[in-house]
Homo-oligomer: A and B are copies of this chain.
Amino acid sequence: MVARTRFDDSECPVARSVDAIGDWWSLLIVRDAFDGSRRFGEFQRSLGVAKNILTARLRTLVAGGVLESVPASDGSAYREYVLTPKGKALFPVIVALRQWGEQNFFTPGESHSELVDRRQGHRLRALEVLSSDGRRLDPDDTTVHKISTQ
């Protein structure tokens, strides 16, 4: 599916997002980028992914405007991969997946990595889906509308 079936033409934003990211590896690359990974080798060691796959995914992410290839920050001749603004905008997606995982796939007390507020070292507040006037919304409180924007 990754390369053959495309959702680009879908009018569902979820489908376009999914298509733009590419596959799960790509999402984990983005996660690592949020966690500070920048270099090819860092991603490779962290993920344990085959190098040819990593190469392909990094290329896709750069082509899709999620990552950007920049000169290495340490002055070496190598390059680094950093999140673009579009990539950083994936933050809520990663946080949402992280919180879902924490709540559903860890037994209480089981060790896991944790995303914390840098200033206070505290865990983040759980994401909330809110209406425009600030009410907390459950899935059942929402409905999908086919519209022309305008």
Q: Which residue of B lies closest to A46 (CB)?
A: B12
Distance (whole angstroms) from the CB of A113 to the closest CB of chain B = 5
- Residues of the B chain whose Cβ atoms lie less than 8 Å from the Cβ of A113: 11-13, 144-147
Q: Which residue from B31, B92, B120 sits with its C-beta under 8 Å from A99?
A: B92
Q: How would you classify the secondary structure of chain A's contact residues: helix, strand, loop or mixed? A: mixed
The B-contacting residues of A in range 108-150, CB under 8 angstroms, are 108-125, 127-135, 137-150
| Contact in complex: B112, A11 (CB < 8 Å) | yes
| Contact in complex: A117, B141 (CB < 8 Å) | yes
Q: Which residue of B lies closest to A130 (CB)?
A: B125
Q: How large is the interface on A (under 10, 10 to 19, 20 to 34, 35 or more residues)?
A: 35 or more
Distance (whole angstroms) from the CB of A126 to the closest CB of chain B = 8
- Residues of the B chain whose Cβ atoms lie less than 8 Å from the Cβ of A141: 117-119
Which of A36, A96, A125, A142 counts the most B-chain CB atoms under 10 A from its CB?
A: A96
Cβ-closest 4 pairs across A and B: A13-B101, A17-B101, A92-B96, A16-B105
Chain A residues close to B by CB (< 8 Å): 1-2, 7, 11-18, 20, 23-25, 27-28, 31, 34-36, 65, 83, 86, 88-106, 108-125, 127-135, 137-150
